[in-house]
Amino acid sequence: MTVISRGFHGRRSGRGDRLPPGQYETFDFPVLSTGPTPHVSLEKWELELVTEDGRRRSWDWAGLMTLPSQDFTVDLHCVTKWSKFGTRWRGVPLDVLLEDVETAAEHARMYCWGGYTTNLPLEDLLDGRAWIAHTYDDEPLAPEHGGPARLLVPHLYLWKSAKWIRRITLTVEDDPGFWESVGYHNYGDPWREQRYRGD
């Protein structure tokens, strides 16, 4: 017997090629977090980039807003098995933040307001695959969805798209984050159902 939670829908014709295995479509935007929602004012907000040798650069909110942003539409896939199609965002590509950075790093660790962390291969942040998103559906990004700004890496499960991003640290060695250290998969590809360690 298949159990489908209220608000989630099975495969629909014409959408099957966009729905990873084991996922269900939702029209809502569920809110899942490991703790209380941080409320960070734009005056206090800052994003820091730290290389493996300790070089730093940072952007306050006004500085982030001066960088080239893109409008983009992507599907989202959560490890809890919901998928939401055609979400509309605006944000700064990670390619912009990293374009002049000299590094030998192959990994990145994300640190967030509120203490959450996650890790990704550096290559997954490049070539138009990741953004610092600040706008959702033509509105400023709400705190419950990671506002004022979050990382968005839509080709991986959503726990990799760190909400309330405040620092990106480039590392030579991989450094697992919160969920990865308690048994979630280190990479998190929804098309390969990489939910938990060993998948």
pLDDT of residue 173: 95
Per the structure, the count of domains in the chain is: 1
Strand spans (E) along 44-102: 46-50, 56-60, 70-77, 82-93
Q: What b/e string do you get for 147-166 counting C-beta neighbours within 10 Å, with b at 16 or more?
A: bbbbbbbbebbbbbbbbbbb
Is residue 197, in this structure, part of any structural domain at all?
Answer: no
pLDDT of residue 97: 97
| Residue 7: pLDDT over 60 | no
Is residue 171, in this structure, part of any structural domain at all?
Answer: yes
Is residue 1, in this structure, part of any structural domain at all?
Answer: no
Q: State what percent of residues in the chain have pLDDT above 70.
A: 92
> For 31-89, what is each residue's pLDDT tens digit?
877 778 899 999 999 999 999 999 999 999 999 999 999 999 999 999 999 999 999 99
Give the C-alpha distances (Å, rounded to integers) separating 93 from 90, 130, 136, 142: 9, 6, 15, 19
| Two structure tokens written together for 196 | 């938990």
> For 163-184, what is each residue's pLDDT tens digit?
999 999 999 999 999 999 999 9
Q: Give the residue numbers spanning the domain of 92.
A: 46-71+88-192
pLDDT of residue 40: 93
Is residue 10, in this structure, part of any structural domain at all?
Answer: no
Question: Residue 66 belongs to a domain with what CATH number?
Answer: 3.90.420.10
pLDDT of residue 16: 63
Is residue 54, in this structure, part of any structural domain at all?
Answer: yes
| Residue 13: pLDDT over 90 | no
Secondary structure of the chain: what % helix, strand, coil (to 5)? Answer: 15, 35, 50
Is residue 126, in this structure, part of any structural domain at all?
Answer: yes
Is residue 114, in this structure, part of any structural domain at all?
Answer: yes
> For 87-111, what is each residue's pLDDT tens digit?
999 999 999 999 999 999 999 999 9
Is residue 9, in this structure, part of any structural domain at all?
Answer: no
> For 114-161, what is each residue's pLDDT tens digit?
999 999 999 999 999 999 999 999 999 999 999 999 999 999 999 999
pLDDT of residue 189: 98
